[in-house]
């Protein structure tokens, strides 16, 4: 099964490089594109783990729809290059140190967990494992309540995003002086564009 190993290493290194790119690239636009590469690598890994439906959903929903939403917002805000933590303070040292500690700790926990099946290639699978039919049947039988809760949560999030991102001119005029001081300055500056962000989930 050398083909599977080669594919694992290619996809895994791609996913790791994408993750590093998200953290290390300075322009948010490139960070989003790097996350797309990371998600595609993860989709290949999902395929290797016999999760066909999840891989398809990852590519279509995640790398497609959600990342397009990100790109729109980055283009709207106009993400400028930001230097990576210019002052060499404590946080600049603490971040990578914390990450290394978490990685070592998780690896120790995984490897020494005593689960014997970890060193195998997994249980024997039926031919329909991870297919859309199986997942759909599980979602509508055993996991009906989480499924409905997730759909309701999506509805709430969509309504909440519209409420958050709309122009609230009325609130600022009603508010006190402290509330308006962070608002838009009286004149001379460019008004921000007036479109509302439409979010479709």
Partner 1 sequence: MDITWYLVLSAFIFAIGAAGVISRRNPLVVLLCLELMLNAGNLALVAFSRMHGGEAGQVFALIVMVIAACEVVIGLGIIVAMYRNRLPIDVDEMSELRG
Residues from 40 through 99 that contact partner 1 (CB under 8 A): 42, 45-46, 48-51, 53-54, 57-58, 61-62, 66, 69-70, 73-74, 76-77, 79, 82, 84-85, 91-92, 94-96, 98-99
Q: Select from 16, 68, 75, 174 the one that contacts partner 1 (CB under 8 A).
A: 16
**Nearest distance in Å: CB 197, partner 1:** 5
* Residue 177 vs 182, nearer CB to partner 1: 182
**Nearest distance in Å: CB 38, partner 1:** 7
Kindly identify the residues of this chain, within the stretch 160-179, that bind partner 1 according to CB under 8 A: 160-165, 167, 179
Helix axes 132-140, 144-165, angle to 10 degrees: 90
* Residue 125 vs 177, nearer CB to partner 1: 125
Q: How many whole angstroms separate alpha carbon 168 and alpha carbon 171?
A: 6
* Residue 23 vs 173, nearer CB to partner 1: 23
* Residue 125 vs 187, nearer CB to partner 1: 125
**Nearest distance in Å: CB 104, partner 1:** 9
Distances (CA, A) of 36 to 39, 44, 121, 168: 5, 13, 28, 33
From residue 94 to residue 133, the character string flagging contacts with partner 1 as x (rule: CB under 8 A) and all else as - is xxx-xxx-xx--xx--xx---x-xxxxxxxxx---xx---
* SS3 track for 21-83: HHHHCCCHHHHHHHHHHHHHHHHHHHHHCCCHHHHHHHHHHHHHHHHHHHHHHHHHHCCCCCC
Residue 46 backbone dihedrals phi, psi, to 5 degrees: -60, -40
CA-wise closest residue to 199 among 153, 152, 165 = 165
């Amino acid at each position: 099964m050398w083909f599977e190993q080669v594919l694992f290493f290619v996809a895994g290194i791609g996913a790791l490089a994408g993750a590093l790119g998200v953290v290390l690239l300075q322009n948010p636009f490139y960070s989003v594109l790097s996350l797309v590469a990371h998600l595609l690598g993860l989709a290949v890994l999902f395929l290797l783990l016999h999760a066909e439906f999840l891989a398809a959903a990852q590519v279509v929903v995640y790398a497609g729809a959600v990342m397009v939403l990100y790109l729109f917002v980055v283009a709207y805000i106009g993400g400028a290059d930001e230097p990576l933590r210019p002052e060499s303070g404590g946080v600049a040292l603490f971040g990578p140190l914390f990450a290394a500690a978490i990685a070592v700790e998780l690896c120790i926990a995984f490897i020494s967990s005593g689960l014997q099946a970890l060193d195998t290639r997994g249980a024997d699978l039926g031919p329909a494992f991870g297919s859309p039919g199986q997942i759909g049947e599980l979602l509508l039988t055993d996991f009906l309540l989480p499924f409905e809760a997730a759909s309701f949560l999506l509805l709430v999030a969509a309504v909440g995003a519209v409420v958050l991102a709309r122009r609230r001119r009325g609130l600022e005029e009603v508010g006190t002086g402290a509330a308006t001081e962070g608002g838009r300055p009286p004149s001379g500056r460019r008004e921000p564009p007036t479109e509302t962000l439409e979010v479709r989930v």
